[in-house]
Amino acid sequence: MKNQISSLQEYLKKYQESVDDPKKFWGEIADTFNWHKKWDDVVDWYFEGEDAPNVKWFLNAKLNITENIFERNLPLRKDQIAIIWEPNDPKNEVIKITYGELFEKVKQFANALKNIGVKKGDRVAIYLPMVLELPIAMLACARIGAIHSVVFAGFSANSLADRINDAKSNVVITADFANRGPKSLNLKSIVDEALQNCTSVKNTIVLKHNGEKINFESPRDIWWHDLIKNISSENIAEVMDSEDTLFILYTSGSTGKPKGVLHTTAGYMIYTEYTFKNVFQYHEGDIFWCTADIGWVTGHSYIVYGPLLSGATTVMFEGIPTYPDAGRFWEVVDKHKVTQFYTAPTAIRSLIAQGDEFVTKHKLDSLKILGTVGEPINEEAWRWYHNLVGKSRCPIVDTWWQTETGGILISPLAGITPTKPSFATLPLPGIQPVIVSPEGKILEGNSVQGNLCIKYPWPGMLRTTYGDHPRCYKTYFSTYKNLYMTGDGAKRDEEGYYRILGRVDDVINVSGHRIGTAEVEDAINQHKKVHESAVVGYPHEIKGQGIYAYVTCAKLSDAEKLTIEKEIRDTVGKIIGSFAKPDLIQLVNGLPKTRSGKIMRRILRKIGEGDATNLGDISTLLDPSVVEEIINGAKVEVKR
Ligand code: WT7
């Protein structure tokens, strides 16, 4: 395959070239794509100064990303399977769709969107389960230059409304129901509730997925199948500028509401294809399966864009790993002869807990490469994955990246870079990471630890946060001058290998879902009996981190005391989504605060970790006695 590195030596050489002459390096890769017009310059950028950050790749070039998926690949791959869709219920039919068929559906839906007035630059919210219509809708938007904003179908009505309003979306695409294991979820009712607070939305397009009755409000609501009736699939792609927006995707940070991370066309395209081919060493005939939901960036980049741009066959799974039983992943691997399998450590840990026999009864002989993403993988999980799933013959790629980075930044190249458990190893070509001390000093050499930053732009990086450019600067570029700050701590070991240590800010990573502690606190505080709350992450055997909430309440009756915890959890479920419900809730009389009223989270974090031996100086607290009370009532065992 073009642009694919095949040895360690070649990696080292390419890496050096990418640092010495980034324009030449990326320009050569970009040459293998289809353009209406080529660029005037490869990159123009500054992280500091007026309107910073300012990052532009492939300046003034013209293209359409879907032409690079379809028109570019079709001569070779018209009848090749593009997507294998595996249903929630294994008794239902698998759908295999070729590049040729997918192209027809994308163009037809693109025309249908145009018919209801969707045009270039409009923001289309997509709230769908893992069905084929999800990538079809995304690619149809890209075809006509509309900006997709996919919202994970596990978010609540309130979170969906926030995202629709922030982006001022005029169309929402959804389905009647989502199937998840033994449950089905009425998505349309969630959209109806959200839309009570959204004035920008003119139409919702509703996919009939499981066919049960739903509330339907014509003319606002239009069935997907009615919308495409008699619509032609003749469609000419909108010609886009390199830096036109491709999509926005909301993600949580330390403060405030989730931000719309914005990615543009050419850079994201080149970066996702390049990283897909190289990290996973995709070869002709391979079957790639990423188990993420397309509602997160992992699904955007490595179910949809990376694989389809590369002309790969990608598996899309509607269900969950434990339905009908904990062997489902491995059953699907055997069924579709999956060669590359990419999942999250939390999924691995939850399957370890179910017992080895769910793995060992499957052959798994098609597997060549295993990948992980989303959180640090502990050594035990790494070994289980390597030995039991990969039969000690499949290299593991521990891929580190973020919604903001668009694609993988630090990872082994499968089978090429020697691996070490729990190390993301080395930066990909084009990526220049640095480790920075808290004072902002770049720590040179090996055996250093600090904050992970990136000092040079790469094509797949975010360009802004939607509707609020100063917030983008403040969040990622203001901490250290001229550096993109990732928010992760990392160490570079004696060999120069990177190990990601986790977030250094108030973001927690629960089962690979990124959640801002401030968001959870805001949600908890909406319960009418709650005065105040402080949320921290604590080590959780399966989820990586769990959510620990310390809460002060108004006086509660005995009856209220029995139900308050459940009510608080339900409040969070309603405001954010079930995945953000606290695992532990401790009712306390007071929170540890400084004299100026700031909550000392450091202390609460320590207690959550079960370690009160080294709380530091607490004499400056407004009321030091609350600490003793919190330790005594802690929901975890605390060492003193
Ligand atoms: C955060 C980004 C884009 C991947 C899906 C999550 C953590 C991600 C790893 C890894 C250790 C990892 C980081 C990062 N993370 N991959 N291989 N090892 N930590 O995307 O929701 O934007 O979260 O996930 O803390 O900052 P996200």
- How close is the Cα of 564 to the center of ligand 1, in Å? 33
pTM of the entire structure? Answer: 0.97
Same domain, yes or no: 277 and 420? yes
Among residues 453, 345, 478, which one has the least CA distance to residue 47? 478
Cα-to-centroid distance, 509 and ligand 1 (Å): 8
472 and 519 belong to one structural domain: no
- 524 with 566, same domain? yes
Within 13 Å of residue 537, how many CA atoms lie on the same side as its CB?
24
For range 450-473, the mean pLDDT:
98
- The answer as to whether 188 is a domain residue is yes
Q: Is the pLDDT of residue 256 over 90?
A: no
If asked whether residues 469 and 564 sit together in one domain, one would say no
510-546 residue pLDDT tens: 998 999 999 999 999 999 999 999 999 999 999 999 9
325 and 192 in one domain?
Answer: yes
- Same domain membership, residue 233 and residue 380: yes
- Write down which residue in 454, 476, 498 finishes a domain: 476
Q: What is the mean pLDDT of residues 334-349?
A: 97
Residue 77 structural domain: 8-476
Q: Is 398 in the pocket of ligand 1 (CB under 6 A)?
A: yes
Same domain, yes or no: 168 and 44: yes
Q: Report if residue 1 sits inside a domain.
A: no
- Which of 195-204, 321-330, 609-618 is predicted least confidently? 609-618
In this structure, the answer to whether residues 465 and 343 fall within a common structural domain is yes
DSSP 217: -
192 and 115 housed in the same domain = yes
Lowest mean pLDDT among 17-26, 129-138, 442-451, 617-626: 617-626
Looking at the DSSP bridge assignments, the partners of residue 240 are: 63
CATH number at residue 86: 3.40.50.12780
Q: Does position 385 have pLDDT exceeding 90, yes or no?
A: yes
- What is the model's pLDDT at position 542? 95
Q: For residues 365-391, give the mean pLDDT.
A: 97
| 40 located within any domain | yes
Looking at the chain, the whole-number percentage of residues with pLDDT higher than 70 is 100
Is residue 311 very low, low, confident or very high in pLDDT (cuts 50, 70, 90)? very high
Rounded average pLDDT over 491-502: 97
Angstrom CA distances, 494 to 11, 252, 395, 446, stand at: 20, 33, 22, 5
Residue 564 lies in a domain: yes
How high is the pLDDT of residue 74?
Answer: 98
Could you tell me if the CB of 503 is within 6 A of ligand 1? Answer: yes
Same domain, 543 and 455: no
The pLDDT of residue 617: 85
Q: Which two tokens stand for residue 323?
A: 């339905």
In a domain, 640, yes or no: no
Is 637 domain-assigned? no
- Report the pLDDT value the prediction gives residue 255, as an integer from 0 to 100: 85
254, pLDDT greater than 90: no
Q: How far is the CA of 374 from the centre of ligand 1 (A)?
A: 4
- Overall domain count for the chain: 2
Domain-embedded: residue 499: no
Ligand 1 atom at minimum distance from 512 CA: 6
Pocket lining: 238 vs ligand 1, CB cutoff 6 Å: no
* Domain shared by 82 and 202, yes or no: yes
- At which of 428, 453, 476 does a domain end? 476
Quickly list H helices, 326-453. Answer: 328-336, 345-352, 357-360, 379-384
pLDDT at 596: 87
The model's confidence at residue 611, banded by pLDDT at 50, 70 and 90, is very high
Nearest-angstrom CA–CA distance, 234 and 569 = 50
Distance 191 CA to ligand 1 centre (A): 29
User: Residue 488: inside a domain, yes or no?
Assistant: no
The CATH number of the domain holding residue 539 is 3.30.300.30
CA distance 252 to 243: 24
Ligand 1: atom nearest CA of 297 is: 3
Same domain, 433 and 516: no
Query: Which residues make Cβ contacts (< 8 Å) with residue 72, sequence separation at least 6?
Result: 33, 34
Q: What is the pLDDT of residue 620?
A: 85
Q: Say yes or no: CB of residue 545 within 6 Å of ligand 1.
A: no
Write down the pLDDT at residue 616. Answer: 86
